[in-house]
Amino acid sequence: MTAFAVPGRFEGSYLGDASRLSATARMECKICWHVYDPAEGCDVWQVPAGTPFAALPGEWRCPVCDGDRDQFMTLDAGTDTAAPPPAAAAAPPRPAVAAPELPTAVIQGLERAFREIHTAQMRGIPIVNDALAVKAVGFRAWDGRWLGALITPWFMNLVLLPGGADDWSGLVPGAKELVEFPSGRYEFVHALRKDVGPYKACSLFSPMFEFTSMLHASETAAAALVALFDPEIREDGARTAEIRRLREAELAPPAGAVEPAEAEAAPVDEPPPPPRRPSRRVLLMGPGAEPAP
């Protein structure tokens, strides 16, 4: 794993000089207080234990809040004073492993595609939350692929992008598969856009009216990405089905509400039908994704 180039200035208490850091120094994010401990590494970014902060891959960001590395401050200096045992001193250095390159162009293309959908096709639709915008959040390497979240004014999805060894050209849009994470199994839908390429999407929230700002939505997306890797919250079955059941329960009429049969019998003026809710396929992949009748 190659060391990253140190920027001209860090905001941490080591004054921008990586040579001041011990290889065992623990660093704390000043935004969310997440601690990076070299002895533990970082499971979310697949950084092995024993990796000093100064040797993290160039695209590494806080796994909790997605903050830049220059927001980390020295929590304790660690210690490198003890002389290594002779066997360790004589051991040959481990070969450096280059970190995979973040597919920035694909992520930007995903954002651009859904911004165009928002502008051209979603304006004025009742499920759109005008307080939100389109943003990709927290993409990181996972299991040879790239995992992140996509926020739009009408949905929040987990997104899987193919890695360098993957050939997803044969994905069938709309096909479903369960993907295993430490916290459970999640249902992903296959998608293929000519301006993005193949990817897989898992719906977390739709519509998005419970989010009052982009900060609120972004923090929720970052927390969801961390929770994916928490085995303590694992449950049997597909977790996405449980998410949908909870959302349906939230949207159900309150106790004591008039049942549909009673409402039909009551002599009241019938209101106009509500706007047709887009299908799950449209929510995941945008208008135009419905198959031809």
Q: For residue 166, which of 146, 185, 184 has the smallest C-alpha distance?
A: 146
Is 86's pLDDT higher than 60? no
Please provide the size of the chain in residues. 293
More confident residue, 36 or 240: 36
Q: Which residues contact 48 (CB under 8 A, 6 or more apart)?
A: 1, 41
Q: For residue 181, which of 150, 245, 225, 217 has the smallest C-alpha distance?
A: 225
In the prediction, which pLDDT does 123 show?
Answer: 81
3-state secondary structure of 180: strand
Q: CA 179 to CA 73: how far, in whole Å?
A: 36
In the prediction, which pLDDT does 251 show?
Answer: 55
More confident residue, 124 or 225: 225
pLDDT interval class at 255 (50, 70, 90): low
Is 200's pLDDT higher than 70? yes
In the prediction, which pLDDT does 159 show?
Answer: 96
In the prediction, which pLDDT does 28 show?
Answer: 84
CB-based contact 42:63 (threshold 8 Å): yes
Is 289's pLDDT higher than 80? no
Is 293's pLDDT higher than 70? no
pLDDT in tens, 27-52: 888 777 788 899 999 888 888 999 99
Q: For residue 193, which of 120, 116, 289 has the smallest C-alpha distance?
A: 289
In the prediction, which pLDDT does 46 show?
Answer: 84
pLDDT interval class at 91 (50, 70, 90): low
Is 261's pLDDT higher than 50? no
Q: SS3 helix, strand, coil % of the chain, rounded to 5?
A: 25, 20, 55
pLDDT interval class at 23 (50, 70, 90): confident
pLDDT interval class at 249 (50, 70, 90): low
Share of the chain above pLDDT 90, in %: 37
Cis peptide leading into residue 207 (ω within 30°): yes
Q: CA 89 to CA 290: how far, in whole Å?
A: 63
Q: CA 175 to CA 189: how far, in whole Å?
A: 6
Q: Which residues contact 170 (CB under 8 A, 6 or more apart)?
A: none
pLDDT interval class at 90 (50, 70, 90): low
Task: Tell me what the mean pLDDT of segment 92-113 comes to.
Answer: 76
Is 246's pLDDT higher than 90? no
